[in-house]
Structure 1
Amino acid sequence: MIALEHISKRFGEKQVLDDISFELADGRSLAVLGRSGTGKSVLTRIILGLIAPDTGRVTIDGQKLTRRRRATFLEQTGVLFQGAALFDSMKVWDNVAFRLRNGRKRTGRAEARDRAVAALARVGLEERVADLYPADLSGGMQKRVGLARAIVGEPKYLFFDEPNSGLDPVTATDIDALIRELVTDLGATAITITHDMASIRAIADEVLLLDASRARWHGPVADLEGAQDELLARFLAR
């Protein structure tokens, strides 16, 4: 379980997060929704331990996320960055295997490539893609490579930052289906930042709506349509 207890964060005069609390059970998928500048990315960085909150605490499986536990948590975590964030100068398989080759438990080149090719296959990419460069790929293929990199270590936790950003509707739908399949197959706990309601319905079990630095609404995806919240209704109408 990932649990946040009374998390607050301020940057200068701007209160970005104010008394945020929620729990996300193992194997559940949460979508974090909100207008631009409402602290969605800051919230995920705090969960990842990349930013320290001013007040409150994050616990993973009931244990506070100390510096030592954060290292273990990050080793168990896969991240899909907005825009895929691939290294242009590295071949696709090198991108996928980056953490395997550079983490605390370094994997040999041959094994790392084999695992990268296997991860690419899981996201629907042929072995020949492994020796291409990111510039040789379409936007949708780059997203798939980013997904392969996120799952190559068989993570327990997955974080997705605007996974459909820049994609056409058909490709976006394919990526949504792939994310849902991967999260289910891995039994992972997932958190996704997105503004796309179709994506939320496809990949999430529950939704957290942030507004004015607070948690405005949190509940199951199945309860979205009946929620009596004006801002949520505006998102649903888009």
Structure 2
Amino acid sequence: MTSLPWIDPDHLWFPPAEEALDDPDGLLALGGDLSTERLILAYRNGIFPWFSDDQPILWWSPNPRCVLFPTEIHIPRSLRRTLNSRYFTTTANKDFSSVIRLCADTRDEGTWITADMANSYAQLHQQGVAHSIEVWNPSGALAGGMYGLAIGQCFFGESMFSLEANASKVLMVHLAHQLNEWGYQLIDCQVESSHLLKMGARTIPRREFLSILRAGVDRSPSQNSWQSQWQWPGPGGAHE
């Protein structure tokens, strides 16, 4: 680890993501800070922070990268029934603070969402860069949620929680559908999980991910209104 680049907090810079360790974790560098400027620079270049309270800030660029192309979302028949029942209500940017808190508090294995990290993403939310998606049950309680960053035509998923069966699946379908309507190219899922792969995500080589990213982060989506409530199936119909 000591041979990795150490980032000066006063220097807004990252080594190229291609220089990350060539493995599924892809550790790239240490140090720096969690300023909103640095975080935006990191995501624009395929890099994200992930560390614990007892560690320096660690920056990663995995290889391969797990992504979900919005048009490739998979909706099993049972999930389609849940969506059509409208049991859940899905909103965006209605309760960012609760979403990031629950993303941190509901993990049995502990969390990398430190207080400093939560504060930085809250600032990004105030700047209109970070967004939350909420899933509510009929009683008005949060059943699931996610937060992430929207830059150009790319959405970078950061963390997600689910307190009820199918809540996170409903969230992913709504997110993919809405982003496809707006002309987004991909959802960055960072590292693979069985849940994401079942929803249609797949892994691609880091070089391919970076190529898509560099073409997409400077392009404005065709529409980008993070409205308060998302409908199903929406104006463009449902994905198969």
Q: TM-score, normalised by structure 1?
A: 0.32
Q: TM-score, normalised by structure 2?
A: 0.31
Compare the two structures and name the one with the higher helix fraction: 1
